[in-house]
Structure 1
Amino acid sequence: MGALRWLSVAAAAASTVSALTPDQFISAPRRSEVVPNPSGDTGLFSTSQYSFDTHSSHTWWSLIDLKSGEISTLTNDSHVSEVIWLGSDASTVLYINNTNAQIPGAVELWISDTSSFANGYKAASLPANLLGIKSVVTDSGDVRYILRGKSYPNGTVYNDKLAATLPSSARIYDSIFPRHWDTWLTPISHAVFSGTLQNTPAEGGKAQYTGAETLKNLVNPVKGAESPFPPFGGNSDYDLSPDGKWVVFKSKAPQLPLANNTASYIYLVPHDGSAKAFAINGPDSAATPTGIEGDSSYPVFSPKSDKVAYFQMADREYESDRRTLYVYTIGSDETIPSLAKDWDRSPDSVKWVGSDNLVVTSEDLARTRLFSIPVTAGDDFKPTNFTDGGSVSAHYVLPDSTILVTGSAIWTNWNVYTASPSQSVIKTLASANEIDPELSGLGPADIDEFYYQGNWTTLHSWIIYPQGFDKTKTYPLALFIHGGPQGAWRDSWSTRWNPKVFADQGYVVIAPNPTGSTGFGDALTDAIQNNWGGAPYDDLVKAWQYVHDHLDFVDTDNGVAAGASYGAYMITWIQGSEFGRKFKALVSHDGSFIGDAMIATDELWFIEHDFNGTFWTTRDNYHNWDPSGPGRVLQFSTPQLVIHSDKDYRVPVSEGIALFNVLQERGVPSRFLNFPDEDHWVTGQENSLVWHQQVLGWLNRYSGVEKSNPDAVSLDDTVNPVVNINP
């Protein structure tokens, strides 16, 4: 089969940087989004860096000049946990101090000037560890703010440090959904709180703000509501209107069982809590779009505080349904019908540009790009992207209506630039690969991509080259299989499955986007339903065959494959297939193994959608795609590393143990890596280092890289002792 399309035909040039090792990768600085000040000349961001020498992280805050890109330190104070711009002043900031002199486990609000940050003053003491602050200065000169934290059932703020210890550890549940992702549910929930700092001008009329500990719980009056909803809810789940009068927040539909649907609403409530929050797109609202019942997200007020833009899915039993954009007018029964309804993409963040236009991010062809959509857009409007490579993680509108973008790519973990619909990318201000020694020399030449014919349609795949790549030589294949199953490998930096770290061991990484992948249209995403081991498996076989036939610099005879979540499921499905004999070693991380055991997951709507029904009505579907079927187990023979963590409640740890048991009883070389304190991901830096040492060491041993590359990671390199009860 010939190449259908190459987007970059030139192979990567030899890099001047040394190989990206696991410890370099993990300890490289990690920066937040850049938030511009009101005048648009300065940006604010935080940086966190882990040290394997001190076994601790340090966080600091910096300013970046939005004209020159020059970066300067604002503060190294480790007690400063959040900083935001305050009002229209270009240099005044409001920040959270994560200590409180009077209350254990609480925080304080401080106000300072960026020119003399250390001379700030305390404006308020808060009663718990609250975060996610947003604020506005009202016409009266007061500061109205909102933030998020935990709540007792009666609505008062919950403080972990002051909570009473109960004599019994018993948990009692009368409905499903007793645990979620990594947490057992308790009566403590999450809520958005509002507060006010009064302006009591000092001498000379300069603003001076003070506030009380009293906060108003805006979520609790709605029985069963919770915002942000854990574990993925965050600052984008709520917003404060520019005039300070209104707050919007997202909550799961409180009247529906949480385990069986994705339905959520956008609630509108006065900042002072003088009225109960009302779901603008709930079942009791005349403005609710007909037939749209799925997940709502990312509510944002318009500049005039008269409208709210938000996304919503139609299907309430499908987490990967397409999001469309809606605009609700406050005080009316009007919701503008979904903008660009026929656009075959699923946007996920939005900002207003004036009162008539919006800019959204959306996955698109293995990237996350920016698109402009006018409020008047009809169903057939087709947005055009104005960013290209990489993935946008945050964007802000500057006073001149250009967009300040923070993003990343496979070759950099932080990239800051300006763009506009008319000019595309205008100027790059900073990129981590040009700042950080750990990432020095990485660049776009490290990656490539190709399209190939899959099971039923044309498919995309990334190629990631190793350091010092020479196209006249050969390198073992490392096949990456993404999770989801509705997901994708994008041109973005990953702090967990980073393909460049694998490539720099001496592999060419191939990361295909098979059936089920997002960002290529609904048809490809949806086609994985009740098809887990069908078309996606065939797509991966065809990707391997394409590489084997057309990429002479890839050694498929000594290839390896690895994946997490659904990717781990697919690894085990491959293990039980003829395709499994094409690999020297396999790695599966937190994957399902026994079809019937999927009923033990937390979000039942997920498996009931993907297998076309409940555990008892469509049981054959669960069995059809069961990697543990006897006929499949009898084919197990490729060495496999199995990773599973105790706090993974989406795919319980018993699945990993069961797979390991079967591999061992079948006499297949295998190892089980377990983290008792991790969930569906391994995020702790020390655990991540062990994870990389074990994963890379396992692959390197069987692929031959351990012998051919003296600097390659070995299983013997693990820094922390790994318990082996049966050596």
Structure 2
Amino acid sequence: MPTLSPLLASLALLAATPPAERHPFGVDDLLALPRVGAPAVSPDGKLVAFTLGRAAADESGIESSLWVVATDGGAPRRLTSAPGEKVSTPRFSPDGKRLAFTAARGGAPQAWVLALAGGEAAQVTRLPAGAGDLLWTADGQALLVATDVDPACGSGDACAARAAPEPGAPRLATRLLFRHWNAWRERVRTHVLRVPLAGGAPEDLTPGDRDVPPYQRGDAGDLALSADGGTLLYARITDPVEAISTNADLYAVPLQGGPARRLTEGPGWDGSPRPSPSGKQLAWRSQARSGYEADRFRLLVGGPAGEEPRDLTAGVDLSVDEVVWTSERRLVFTADEGGLANLYEVDAAAGGVRRLLGGANLHALSASRDGRTLAALVDGFLRPPEVAVVQGGKVKVLTRFGDEVMARVALPSFRPLGAKSRDGAEVHGWLMTPPGHRAGERHPGVVLVHGGPQGAWKDAWSFRWNPLLYAARGWTVVLPNPRGSTGFGQAYQDAVRMSWGGAPFDDVMALTDAALAGGEADGARLCAAGASYGGYMVNWMNGHTDRFRCLVAHAGDFDLEAAYYDTEELWFPEWELGRPWEDRTAYERWSPHRFVQRWRTPTLVTHGELDYRVTVTQALSTYTALQRLGVESRLLVFPDEGHWILRPKNARVFHDVVLSWIADHLGRSPAPAARPDNP
């Protein structure tokens, strides 16, 4: 397993410096931490703009403002201060003298422009559905703004107005993927509008009945301007039924008008277009397999229209995440490897991937015009995100907003955890011990199973499932990365397919055993919790092992066949388990509901009613089964949350209930003798 980088080791040392008084990390600390995000470096590399969020006074949401900090050091400077605003997407103008951003100030987010020399921000859009992703045109005279429109009515303000949601209006669906995550989208599409700053009607650059960028899987990284500024490059889903497709292709459309031109035709996802500084090359991320959202992302480079592409990452078992050009010949990218997020460099002509930084969890990359300054967020298990720059191969942290909170906290320790699974495979994870842990001490243990299943526990911060909250209660925390997890090679990741409760369950148990063998966790006092796929795994555990005193299942599937029919992204279950009307084998073999007669472990079930990925009916079914079986259980439902519990006031309730549930059961006398694990 890899070791901690010098960067994160130094950050951990800074955060762990003993203050006069320390207390265990609690929910109050988590909610009090400022949330740094969306770094954008200026064209000359001298400034980084970013957002800073804090929980609102009533904890109803996160309020945020716009800030800048100099890359050569100095105190960050706040640029906006409207009461209750929510700011995102800062973008420097081509000349570096202005900042565009989106801000919600009492309504839908709109685009604003602020002169760095001083003065008030000017509102640029008044779109009924709000402004999303932003780009500047090369001449600085207009913004390209993503917003929802009604594609049936043409273009312009009227179409944008018709896309605005009408509370309580009936919903009529005529296609699949009519809803996504927590929103209904039965008659709207995201389009990119050219909005002149001097006034005038917006122009729809991506008309038609398709989303740009694709809201299903795409983001702001799937939009880019050509090097000469005359062409918008974007990703678009091309298959007729979007709910079963992971196929996107790159397109190019002139800003001055004309038809869009298709650049790629691969069977999988082609996105993240990145023109080289001269415009003579185009790089992008590409997946080779159709229907598989977690296939390895390759880094391809071709001519300016994507012609004659070459795979620069063919010789490494890495999945490329974020990509930027640092010169006409070199690109850098991030990728997960062994539970760490690393930064790599590759020669666009000769290939040859080289690791630049190991374990520096850099994300949200932004490069200066000359590529010499790279801005990003950096964080770790023990360090919340801060703005940093990479210059000359070294990381310099520019902000310290989290220091005030973290300096008062007694921090845990963590180390890599390895084990050999039932079939002999080497599996991986992390182990976190409570603050003040001493060699030879055994603590109650909590196993946290991550979602996905193509996700991972890595040395990174989380504002949702933060293991520090569990370690602070005096528990040893096991963070397994079973098969299906990302960052351990594509074969390791692929191994979860058609085996949801098979090898991954064995891996979780093997890593739990490794924690017990290491002496840090007490096998007689264990609980387990998980969300999404982790919630599914918790439900699976309930029918296959009695070794846990309690379980927590958040947003977890109960009946896999029913879940196929009530989810929205159908490509996911079709790849993982097949189409149930063609072959129900995997659905029947791995569905937790088929083993409810063996459930006996006390279980807390939590869910958001607006969750369309795993619908609330799965939680209700889980709870009903537990109650009818006479198993101690509780149900916690949030009417205003989706797949994640995001509102601070709800997060407080969630953590209080979950931590209390686990504490109540770990503090009890030993459970009755357990039956052997029965996979």
Q: TM-score, normalised by structure 1?
A: 0.83
Aligned counterpart, 2:271 = 297
Match of 1:339 among 312, 315, 328: 312
Deviations, residues 438-497 of structure 1 (Å, cap 9, x unaligned): 564577x63221222224422221122323333353321110111111111111111111
Cα distance, 1:428 vs structure 2: 3.3
AA aligned to 2:430 is: W
1:666 aligns with 2:629: yes
1:412 to 1:440, Cα distance in 2 relative to 1, 3 A: farther
1:217 aligns with 2:204: yes
Deviations, residues 240-280 of structure 1 (Å, cap 9, x unaligned): 23432011111211x421121211111111123x1122221
Deviations, residues 560-609 of structure 1 (Å, cap 9, x unaligned): 100011111111111101x3x21111000111111321322222221111
Range with greater deviation from structure 2 (301-310 or 583-592)? 301-310
1:75 to 1:573, Cα distance in 2 relative to 1, 3 A: same
Is the Cα–Cα contact under 8 Å of residues 109 and 126 in structure 1 kept in the other structure?
no
Match of 2:436 among 465, 468, 475: 468
Aligned counterpart, 2:113 = 110
Cα distance, 1:6 vs structure 2: 8.0
Larger Rg: 1
1: distance between equivalents of 2:501 and 2:86?
49
Match of 2:572 among 586, 606, 615: 606
2: distance between equivalents of 1:391 and 1:336?
29
1:619 aligns with 2:584: yes
1: distance between equivalents of 2:342 and 2:502?
30
1:664 to 1:30, Cα distance in 2 relative to 1, 3 A: same
2: distance between equivalents of 1:697 and 1:160?
47
AA aligned to 1:270 is: P
2: distance between equivalents of 1:21 and 1:482?
21
AA aligned to 1:636 is: W
Secondary structure of the structure 1 residue equivalent to 2:457: coil
1:425 aligns with 2:386: no
Aligned counterpart, 1:534 = 502
1:662 to 1:25, Cα distance in 2 relative to 1, 3 A: same
Cα distance, 1:160 vs structure 2: 8.0
Cα distance, 1:126 vs structure 2: 4.2
Aligned counterpart, 2:258 = 275
1: distance between equivalents of 2:438 and 2:262?
59
Range with greater deviation from structure 2 (652-661 or 306-315)? 306-315
Percent of aligned positions that are identical: 27
Aligned counterpart, 1:700 = 663
Is the Cα–Cα contact under 8 Å of residues 60 and 76 in structure 1 kept in the other structure?
yes
1:5 to 1:309, Cα distance in 2 relative to 1, 3 A: closer
Q: TM-score, normalised by structure 2?
A: 0.89
Is the Cα–Cα contact under 8 Å of residues 46 and 60 in structure 1 kept in the other structure?
yes
Aligned counterpart, 1:68 = 73
Is the Cα–Cα contact under 8 Å of residues 243 and 569 in structure 2 kept in the other structure?
yes
1:532-571 alignment, distance < 5 Å: 532-550=500-518, 552-571=519-538
Match of 1:649 among 599, 605, 612: 612
Secondary structure of the structure 1 residue equivalent to 2:447: strand
Aligned counterpart, 1:93 = 99
1: distance between equivalents of 2:433 and 2:471?
6
Is the Cα–Cα contact under 8 Å of residues 124 and 213 in structure 1 kept in the other structure?
no
Deviations, residues 200-255 of structure 1 (Å, cap 9, x unaligned): xxxxxxxxxxx1141121221xx4321222265332121123432011111211x4
AA aligned to 2:93 is: L
Is the Cα–Cα contact under 8 Å of residues 607 and 638 in structure 2 kept in the other structure?
yes
AA aligned to 1:409 is: G
Aligned counterpart, 1:356 = 329
2: distance between equivalents of 1:473 and 1:489?
24
Task: State the aligned residue count.
Answer: 653
Aligned counterpart, 1:711 = none
Aligned counterpart, 1:367 = 340
Is the Cα–Cα contact under 8 Å of residues 54 and 63 in structure 2 kept in the other structure?
yes
1: distance between equivalents of 2:185 and 2:639?
19
2: distance between equivalents of 1:168 and 1:478?
43
Is the Cα–Cα contact under 8 Å of residues 486 and 518 in structure 1 kept in the other structure?
yes
Deviations, residues 687-716 of structure 1 (Å, cap 9, x unaligned): 11111111111111101199xxxxxxxxxx
1:258 aligns with 2:232: no
1: distance between equivalents of 2:168 and 2:434?
54
Match of 2:288 among 314, 320, 326: 314
Cα distance, 1:75 vs structure 2: 3.0
Cα distance, 1:504 vs structure 2: 0.9
2: distance between equivalents of 1:571 and 1:178?
30
Cα distance, 1:394 vs structure 2: 1.9
Is the Cα–Cα contact under 8 Å of residues 84 and 93 in structure 1 kept in the other structure?
yes
Is the Cα–Cα contact under 8 Å of residues 14 and 469 in structure 1 kept in the other structure?
no
2: distance between equivalents of 1:42 and 1:164?
36
Aligned counterpart, 1:499 = 467
1: distance between equivalents of 2:4 and 2:419?
12
Aligned counterpart, 2:367 = 397
Cα distance, 1:426 vs structure 2: 4.3
Secondary structure of the structure 1 residue equivalent to 2:587: helix
Aligned counterpart, 2:300 = 326
Aligned Cα root-mean-square deviation (Å): 3.0
2: distance between equivalents of 1:132 and 1:585?
43
AA aligned to 1:597 is: A
Deviations, residues 524-582 of structure 1 (Å, cap 9, x unaligned): 000111011111111111111111112x23222111100011111111111101x3x21
2: distance between equivalents of 1:108 and 1:166?
22
AA aligned to 1:264 is: A
1:105 to 1:43, Cα distance in 2 relative to 1, 3 A: closer
1:442 to 1:351, Cα distance in 2 relative to 1, 3 A: farther
1:387 aligns with 2:330: no
Match of 2:553 among 583, 588, 602: 588
AA aligned to 2:356 is: F
Is the Cα–Cα contact under 8 Å of residues 25 and 409 in structure 2 kept in the other structure?
no
1:529 to 1:324, Cα distance in 2 relative to 1, 3 A: same
1: distance between equivalents of 2:2 and 2:120?
57
1:84 to 1:599, Cα distance in 2 relative to 1, 3 A: closer
1:453 to 1:346, Cα distance in 2 relative to 1, 3 A: same
2: distance between equivalents of 1:520 and 1:471?
30
Match of 2:641 among 669, 678, 685: 678
2: distance between equivalents of 1:270 and 1:20?
53
Cα distance, 1:401 vs structure 2: 1.8
1:241 aligns with 2:226: yes
1: distance between equivalents of 2:188 and 2:410?
45
1: distance between equivalents of 2:41 and 2:165?
44
Cα distance, 1:180 vs structure 2: 2.4
2: distance between equivalents of 1:59 and 1:150?
23
Cα distance, 1:680 vs structure 2: 1.2
1:690 aligns with 2:673: no
Match of 2:91 among 79, 84, 92: 84
Is the Cα–Cα contact under 8 Å of residues 149 and 161 in structure 2 kept in the other structure?
no
Secondary structure of the structure 2 residue equivalent to 1:34: strand
Q: Which runs of 5+ in 1 are unaligned?
A: 198-210, 283-291, 707-727
2: distance between equivalents of 1:424 and 1:69?
21
2: distance between equivalents of 1:338 and 1:390?
25
2: distance between equivalents of 1:363 and 1:167?
42
Q: Which runs of 5+ in 2 are unaligned?
A: 670-679
